[in-house]
Amino acid sequence: MKKLFLLFFVAGLLSTGFISCRENKSAGDKIEDVADDVEDAVD
């Protein structure tokens, strides 16, 4: 029983670690990235 609890605990820690590190881009960030790409293409 303890091993099962420990397994779920470790899985929860790993999953929250990966989810919290994701970068969430707003619409403004996406537009800025596209503008940078267009500027680079023109050069």
- Per residue in 1-43, pLDDT (tens digit) is 888 888 888 888 777 666 655 566 677 777 877 777 887 787 6
Q: Return d(Cα 43, Cα 40) in angstroms, integer.
A: 5
Q: Return d(Cα 7, Cα 13) in angstroms, integer.
A: 10
Give the start-end residues of each E strand in 1-43: none
Residue 31: the pLDDT is 81
Q: Return d(Cα 12, Cα 3) in angstroms, integer.
A: 14
Domain boundaries, the chain: 2-42
Tokens of 34: 């596209």
Residue 22: the pLDDT is 57
